[in-house]
Chain A
Amino acid sequence: MIELRNISKRFGAVQANDHVSIKVEPGTIHAIVGENGAGKSTAMRIAYGFYTADAGEILIDGQVRRIGSPQDAIALGIGMVHQHFMLVDTMTVADNIVLGAEPGSPLSLDLQEADIRIRALSAEFRLSVDPHARIEDLSVGQQQRVELLKALYRKARLLILDEPTAVLTPQEVEEFFGILRGMRKQGKTIVIITHKLAEVLALSDDVTVMRDGKVVGRVETKETSAAELARLMVGRDVLLHVHKPEAKPGAQVLGVRNLSVKTAAGAKPVDNVTFEVRAGEIVGVAGVEGNGQTELVEALAGLVDPLRVSGDVDLEGQSLSGMNPRRRRERGIAHIPEDRHRRGLLLEFALTENAILGVHYRRPITMLPGDAVLDDGEIRRRTVDIIKRFDVRPPNPDLPARALSGGNQQKLVIGREFELNPKLLLVSQPTRGVDIGAIEFIHDKLVKLRDGGCAVLLVSAELEEVMSLSDRLLILHKGRIAGEVNPQVATAAEVGLLMTRGH
């Protein structure tokens, strides 16, 4: 169907792709795996005409084709769902789907026609979504369906999916795979980039493994194993399961009583929640995306307007209510946000300046006179330290954060927050879009922090993650705590039900 031959592409100093050759058979599902920064997205963006390769050629159905722009790719029947969705949030589903391929005449956009065709497609591929909803009101899962419909609407024969499951809940993933298998039946070809080896094994026919911009292996799925793939990816053996000693919970650190959060619109994303987190334990919060996890964490971090928060929150017995984020940090709360681009990083700023965000205003970062002046030496020392201890690559403190791949950005944020050696760590989606090597590393760090006596509140859409990491697991449904389970004994199925049904 599609074949990349010796594709090379460099960004400044980075050789993102180095003679990459990938062959995808028609009517198959082809997985591409590799560490963060291995060059997976780059290769696929080239196939979609988003980037143009420095060297190499692309064949479609055996003929060499020039793909200079997405238009060309679309014309050749290629569709792509990007790692970061390519949707216009302020517009409706229908608008986004027809954009660029509008029905009706140039003088009038035929929205009824669009509606009909979209509904037809949703039915055919079991992708239910309301054409009139605004993107920004949709859950990521639904947004993903829109992306798929976009491609299908353009009659794509080849679908490229860049980490489509990173943001989906287990249920959504199952459903999603069903859809993909359905498509394969209808003769569509699918390329899927993912970090989750279980998914690769469950779904794909063939796998291409990339490392440092090169293709380091191509195997048939049925003839490989997670361990082998992991070794190919990272170049060493990887522990796929967290090694976690028994927790020794201490005194209560975080106490939350009847916490509710109201939105400006009047909704109640967090509704009368009560729980506690003790020193030396990891309390997990599982839940389908959009059931209040985000609001809960942001409220605890002081990022929600106090007027919209009710109930009391205390840290080691002292009330936090009404405190701004800075005061809470000073009290010993660290926070790893779910969206590192939106919250966690100043992408244009150097790593040094990102490494001090949140503590930039106090000793030892500042110095005399008047604690107003930044101590560059100290800042650099701190940054280099984080880079070393958290293995941030490339290890250059003067790079802008933007130049790091997702996984390394995440390591930087985690390192920064660990530096605070906090009493309480709020951590959301710590391994979203992060490769297995880094996941192993991050999980290990979280456990070590716990054993150091820190209280950890872990929110993750990765059921496997929360279940393996947490010592106690709360399930959030419609802003309420639908139940607490012991992850050691509970099964994914039970938890899944609580997450979706709420009882």
Chain B
Amino acid sequence: MGEILNISLIWSAVRLSTPLVLAALGGMFAERAGVINIALEGMMLAGAFTAAAVTYTTGSPWIGLTAGVAAGLAIAWVHAVASIRYRADQVVTGTAINILMIGVPGFLSGALFLSSGSTPQIPKEHLVPWTPIVMAFAAVPISWYVLYRTPFGLRLRAVGENPEAADAAGIRVAAVRYIGVLLSGAFAALGGAYLSIGQSSLFTRNMTSGRGFIALAALIFGKWRPVQTMFACLFFGFTEAITIRMQGVVKLPSGEDIPVQFIQMVPYLLTIVVLAGFIGHSRPPRALGRPYQKER
């Protein structure tokens, strides 16, 4: 047990949650504005690749982070234009962006680093192992404040719940939704950047490996609220950290190892159980997924 439950577990959990927290908060801003964002995966990949590539070439993680966020904004802008301005189905657009972001890094890495889908390793001194963690957990109370204590937050929530009402109250629905989606791009990209220049030291093909979807799950899990969502992410982080430590330590009664596949199932099984047992129904923003358009 001592090999599983120890201080290093805490830090491991925090590191593993950080990208999720950032991505999930991002997802929150988009979905609270009524725009589904299953493109978190793609937006993270955009941030991860750009941050790594730029940091490697400039030698400055700060420029790298900034570039990563910029990339996230760019991708988010595509999502926004397609699904807000042109009322494309938000799920389709999201899927398209996820596919796009499996292709684009591959292509660019080929052009930049004679590689097909990954960047060279970045020297340790150019990494930012801590800043994104701080940002992530600082972002939670800030997001809470923005959402519940500022005019913008009020409008964002209104637009996601009942765009007609917001419109009637004289709010530019599209504008608010744009901001929400762009924010989600920035956050998700930051989360991705942490993966490539914080937690590890390079970008590799599809390195998010599903974290975008876990973040989405955490967002729903957290009922689209900042603090609950953070706890949902920590939940995922902890279970993964624990399973990492369980491998080869926890034995079957028969004394042999539990097959690793089962250990790796634990977080997901646990989620389902917790969801069914304790959280139950979580009500999405009413207008989620509905493009807003009135006969003009």
Classify A-B as touching or not with yes or no (CB < 8 A): yes
Chain A interface (Cβ within 8 Å of chain B)?
Answer: 11, 48, 50-52, 69-71, 73-74, 80, 82, 86-91, 95-96, 98-102, 104, 106-109, 150, 154
Partner of B170, one of A51, A90, A100, A107: A100
Partner of B165, one of A52, A86, A98, A107: A86
Residue ID in chain B nearest A70 by CB atoms: B170
Give a binary string over B143-163; 1 marks a CB under 8 Å from any A CB, 0 the rest.
000000111111101100110
Instruction: Determine the distance from Cα of A459 to Cα of B268 in the docked complex, in whole angstroms.
Output: 50
Question: What would be 7 A-B contacts, judged by CB atoms less than 8 Å apart?
Answer: A50-B168, A70-B169, A74-B170, A87-B165, A88-B161, A88-B162, A100-B171
Instruction: Determine the distance from Cα of A95 to Cα of B169 in the docked complex, in whole angstroms.
Output: 11
The answer on a CB contact under 8 Å between B164 and A51 is: no
Interface residues of B in 253-281 (CB under 8 A from A): none
B125 at the A interface (CB under 8 A): no
Partner of B162, one of A69, A80, A87: A87
Q: How far is the CB of B47 from chain A (nearest CB, A)?
A: 27
Residue ID in chain B nearest A100 by CB atoms: B169
12 additional contacts (CB under 8 A) given A89-B162, A106-B151: A50-B294, A69-B170, A71-B170, A87-B162, A88-B161, A88-B162, A88-B166, A95-B154, A100-B169, A106-B150, A106-B152, A107-B150
A96 / chain B contacts, CB cutoff of 8 Å = 165, 169
Residue ID in chain A nearest B296 by CB atoms: A52
Give a binary string over B91-107; 1 marks a CB under 8 Å from any A CB, 0 the rest.
00000000000000000
The answer on a CB contact under 8 Å between B150 and A101 is: no
A80 / chain B contacts, CB cutoff of 8 Å = 168
The answer on a CB contact under 8 Å between A99 and B169 is: yes
Main secondary structure of the interface of B (DSSP, over half): helix
Given contacts A11-B295, A106-B150, contact A91 B158 (CB under 8 A): yes
Q: How far is the CB of A268 from chain B (nearest CB, A)?
A: 23
Instruction: Determine the distance from Cα of A99 to Cα of B157 in the docked complex, in whole angstroms.
Output: 10
The answer on a CB contact under 8 Å between A91 and B157 is: yes
Partner of B295, one of A51, A98, A150: A51
Given contacts A99-B158, A100-B155, A108-B150, contact A86 B168 (CB under 8 A): yes
B164 / chain A contacts, CB cutoff of 8 Å = 86
Chain B interface (Cβ within 8 Å of chain A)?
Answer: 149-155, 157-158, 161-162, 164-172, 286, 294-296
Instruction: Determine the distance from Cα of A96 to Cα of B162 in the docked complex, in whole angstroms.
Output: 11
Instruction: Determine the distance from Cα of A80 to Cα of B158 in the docked complex, in whole angstroms.
Output: 18
The answer on a CB contact under 8 Å between A91 and B167 is: no
B170 / chain A contacts, CB cutoff of 8 Å = 69-71, 73-74, 100-101, 154
Instruction: Determine the distance from Cα of A499 to Cα of B172 in the docked complex, in whole angstroms.
Output: 43
Instruction: Determine the distance from Cα of A91 to Cα of B158 in the docked complex, in whole angstroms.
Output: 8
The answer on a CB contact under 8 Å between B149 and A91 is: no
The answer on a CB contact under 8 Å between B168 and A82 is: yes
Instruction: Determine the distance from Cα of A70 to Cα of B164 in the docked complex, in whole angstroms.
Output: 11
Residue ID in chain B nearest A84 by CB atoms: B164
Residue ID in chain B nearest A94 by CB atoms: B154
B166 / chain A contacts, CB cutoff of 8 Å = 88, 99-100
The answer on a CB contact under 8 Å between B161 and A109 is: no
B157 / chain A contacts, CB cutoff of 8 Å = 88, 91
Given contacts A71-B170, A100-B155, contact A91 B150 (CB under 8 A): no
The answer on a CB contact under 8 Å between A109 and B162 is: no
The answer on a CB contact under 8 Å between A109 and B154 is: yes
Instruction: Determine the distance from Cα of A198 to Cα of B164 in the docked complex, in whole angstroms.
Output: 31
A90 / chain B contacts, CB cutoff of 8 Å = 161, 286
Residue ID in chain A nearest B169 by CB atoms: A100
Instruction: Determine the distance from Cα of A197 to Cα of B171 in the docked complex, in whole angstroms.
Output: 35
A154 / chain B contacts, CB cutoff of 8 Å = 170
The answer on a CB contact under 8 Å between A99 and B154 is: yes
Instruction: Determine the distance from Cα of A101 to Cα of B296 in the docked complex, in whole angstroms.
Output: 24
Q: How far is the CB of A476 from chain B (nearest CB, A)?
A: 30
Instruction: Determine the distance from Cα of A101 to Cα of B169 in the docked complex, in whole angstroms.
Output: 8
Q: Which 3 A-B pairs have CB atoms at the shortest separation, nearest pair first?
A: A102-B151, A100-B169, A86-B168
Instruction: Determine the distance from Cα of A391 to Cα of B120 in the docked complex, in whole angstroms.
Output: 74
Q: How far is the CB of A249 from chain B (nearest CB, A)?
A: 45
The answer on a CB contact under 8 Å between B296 and A88 is: no
B168 / chain A contacts, CB cutoff of 8 Å = 48, 50, 70, 80, 82, 86
